[in-house]
């Protein structure tokens, strides 16, 4: 078997084991013995066919940290410290580099928690200043690593959670709504207009915008993973959300109210160039218009120079985040034929140094 085949087989084993976690040794003490030994047996079986440096290690004193350790060694280190790995697999390589760096700087191999918190890698270990600085540095690094695939990512917010995703995986999480005369499709499930019985909004933000739309359906509507007890919860982050509300406003008069009618007018975005601006916020690039930004940050200076810089900076960020690449492929919105790019090639390249 080749080295790559071994790696793929080991990753499959890690997939099977990943759901099994332990919070701390005190938690184990509270488990019934039969459950504890069942998990212990599953863990031993998991390690049985794995290939890694510390396979036969039974104590932290004997734990080896070198250039060859892998995800199994990381799991073993967590086990020896009586903790679970509360991070995605995509952050394992970064965490391994962290423990290698800590080891080179005199770390005692003791760690009390490894988790993702506020979209950042949290590694609770030594309080020594030079080690804390290394840990802090890798926390910053994690904020550019997609938690789904490990590629370059940015901080995203969805349904109240902050996390790191690349553009591709973030778009998958956002979901998409498309409509026609008979009904609408959301996350690959189709719903007929004539099955809707009511709608409501919830989770009002500080700008007076609702984060969630709830659609209720007739009792005989088929259930699916999104439709629970006849209700469908749609985030305002979903692609096509504004057009969906506009359709409801124009075609379902009994559903219309002062909030829904605000979505009847859509404008082109000066940042990404797509027709997706509702209530001073672009649904496509998810940036505020300059006017919307000023409403949120009222102490910001309002001038043509500031507006120009605001739009230019966000145009560059949109390109660097591959927003234009994915929107060009997916064609979710109409492009403004008079769209103006405010940055030049040198400014785009310089952005990498910031």
Q: In whole angstroms, what is the distance from residue 17 CA to residue 186 CA? A: 33
Largest CA distance in the chain: 72
Tens digit of each residue's pLDDT (9 = 90 or more) over 233-250: 999 999 999 999 998 887
What is the value of pTM for the model shown?
A: 0.77
- The confidence score (pLDDT) of residue 223 equals 76
pLDDT band with cut points at 50, 70 and 90 for residue 43 = low
User: For residues 326 and 165, is the Cβ–Cβ distance under 8 A?
Assistant: no
Tens digit of each residue's pLDDT (9 = 90 or more) over 54-87: 999 999 999 999 999 999 999 999 999 999 999 9
Containing 191, the helix (H) or strand (E) segment is strand 189-192
Tokens of 60: 């932290």
Distances in Å between the alpha carbon of 50 and those of 47, 75, 327, 334? 5, 12, 42, 51
Residue 7 has pLDDT above 50, yes or no: no
User: For residues 274 and 268, is the Cβ–Cβ distance under 8 A?
Assistant: yes
Q: In whole angstroms, what is the distance from residue 65 CA to residue 345 CA? A: 44
Mean pLDDT, rounded, for 342-347:
91
Nearest to residue 87, comparing CAs of 64, 65, 111?
111
Task: Please count the other Cβ atoms lying within 10 Å of the Cβ belonging to residue 147.
Answer: 21
- The confidence score (pLDDT) of residue 48 equals 78
DSSP-assigned states of every residue in 92-129: HHHHHHHHHHHHHTT--S--SEEEEETTEEEEE----H
Encode 250-260: b = buried (16+ Cβ within 10 Å), e = exposed.
eeeeeeeeeeb
pLDDT band with cut points at 50, 70 and 90 for residue 39 = low
Containing 179, the helix (H) or strand (E) segment is strand 177-179
Tens digit of each residue's pLDDT (9 = 90 or more) over 138-161: 999 999 999 999 999 999 987 667
More confident residue, 335 or 22: 335
Q: In whole angstroms, what is the distance from residue 316 CA to residue 185 CA? A: 32
Q: Which residues make beta-bridge pairs with 213?
A: 201, 234
> DSSP 3-state assignment of 31?
coil
Q: In whole angstroms, what is the distance from residue 91 CA to residue 114 CA? A: 11
Q: In whole angstroms, what is the distance from residue 286 CA to residue 238 CA? A: 11
Distances in Å between the alpha carbon of 136 and those of 110, 123, 129, 165, 208? 17, 9, 10, 20, 36
Q: Tell me the angle at which helices 323-330 and 167-174 cross, rounded to the nearest 10 degrees.
A: 50
Q: In whole angstroms, what is the distance from residue 177 CA to residue 184 CA? A: 7
């Amino acid at each position: 078997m080749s080295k790559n085949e071994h790696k793929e087989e080991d990753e499959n084993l890690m997939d099977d084991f990943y759901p099994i976690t332990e919070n701390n040794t005190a938690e184990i003490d509270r488990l019934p013995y039969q459950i504890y030994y069942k998990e212990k047996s599953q863990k031993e079986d998991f390690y049985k066919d794995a290939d890694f440096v510390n396979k036969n290690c039974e104590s932290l004193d004997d734990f080896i940290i070198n250039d060859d350790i892998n995800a199994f060694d990381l799991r073993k280190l967590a086990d020896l410290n009586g903790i679970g790995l509360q991070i995605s697999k995509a952050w394992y390589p970064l965490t391994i580099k962290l423990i290698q760096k800590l080891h080179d700087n005199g770390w005692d191999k003791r760690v009390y928690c490894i988790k993702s918190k506020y979209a950042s890698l949290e590694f609770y270990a030594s309080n020594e200043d030079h080690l804390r600085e290394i840990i802090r540095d890798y926390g910053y690094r994690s904020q550019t690593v997609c938690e789904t695939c490990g590629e370059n990512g940015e901080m995203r917010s969805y349904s109240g959670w902050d996390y790191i995703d690349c553009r591709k995986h973030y778009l998958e999480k956002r979901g998409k709504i498309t409509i026609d005369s008979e009904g609408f499709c959301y996350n690959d499930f189709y719903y007929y207009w004539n099955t809707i019985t009511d709608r409501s909004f919830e989770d009002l933000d500080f700008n007076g915008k609702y984060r969630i739309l709830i659609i209720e359906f007739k009792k005989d509507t088929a259930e699916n993973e999104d439709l629970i007890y006849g209700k469908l919860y749609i985030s305002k982050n979903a692609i096509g959300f504004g057009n969906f509300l506009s359709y409801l406003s124009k075609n379902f008069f009994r559903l219309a109210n002062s909030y829904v009618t605000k979505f009847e007018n859509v404008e082109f975005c000066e940042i990404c160039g797509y027709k997706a601006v509702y209530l001073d916020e672009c649904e496509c690039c998810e940036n505020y218009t300059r006017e919307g930004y000023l409403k949120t940050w009222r102490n910001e200076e309002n001038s043509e120079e500031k507006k120009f810089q605001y739009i230019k900076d966000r145009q560059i960020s949109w390109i660097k985040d591959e927003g234009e690449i994915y929107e060009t492929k997916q064609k979710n919105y109409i492009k403004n034929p008079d769209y103006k790019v405010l940055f030049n090639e040198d400014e785009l390249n310089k952005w990498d140094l910031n």
